[in-house]
Amino acid sequence: MNSLPLENVPQKRPTKKVSFFRDVIETLLLALVLFIAINLVSARVKVEGFSMQPTLDHQQFVLVSRLTPRFIPLQRGDIVVFRPPMYPHATWLETLIGLPGVHSEFEDYIKRVIGLPGETVTVRDGQVWINGTWLNEPYVAEPPRYEGRWEVPEGYVFVLGDNRNNSSDSHSWGVLPIENILGKAILVYWPFSAWKVLDSGPVVQAAP
């Protein structure tokens, strides 16, 4: 009985249908990997409310970097998105798929970091003071009409809205655990006419 050489044996090739479904699956897997990777380092946030005016307006969309504070330390003046301490922590699934933006009965807030761990924040006479030194804040809508003094423990920060007298923030519910912070807002990307980079300044401590 004669046999064909191995290289001449006809090879079974996948049908066009099998090849199509394989390509679809590979594309979906790649898209899933990219989706997870992007959401591990960033999030997209829609601003709701007016507590950050004039810096941020209602219904603007903001890109958030998750690298802060996990890999990049927080700085005074950073604008951060977080789950307030009076609400339960976000689930791992919510965090993975890009919280906020997931329907939830608990809101996530966006405010500015004012006091860092170990500092004392005092508000009096319409001014904010850090360890007895006046903080120059050209970004606020108007001077605060409240007064108080807060100690910021290690592992916490003190956050305020730029619209000081129309903001639910640390002056009303206390200091914020750093572990509650989703990330740092880095730019406004929509509407396009409002596009701008959000930096940490200018925040200047003047002489006491």
Give the residue-averaged pLDDT of 134-153. Answer: 96
| pTM for the model | 0.79
- Contact criterion met (CB below 8 Å) for 160 and 170: yes
Selected residue with higher pLDDT from 4 and 88: 88
86-97 tens-digit pLDDT: 887 666 666 555
* Band (30; pLDDT cuts 50, 70, 90): confident
Instruction: Give me the CATH code for the 43-205 domain, please.
Output: 2.10.109.10
Helices and strands counted in the chain (H then E): 4, 13
What is the C-alpha R_g of the chain? 25
Q: Of 3, 12, 19, 111, which is the active-site residue? A: 111
Domain boundaries along the sequence of the chain: 43-205
Close Cβ partners of 78 (under 8 Å, ≥ 6 residues apart)? 68, 112, 113, 184, 200
* Band (102; pLDDT cuts 50, 70, 90): very low
pLDDT at 101: 44
Whether 51 is catalytic is yes
Q: Of 51, 167, 170, 184, which is the active-site residue? A: 51
- Separation of alpha carbons 96 and 107, rounded Å: 17
User: What 8-state DSSP symbol labels residue 138?
Assistant: T
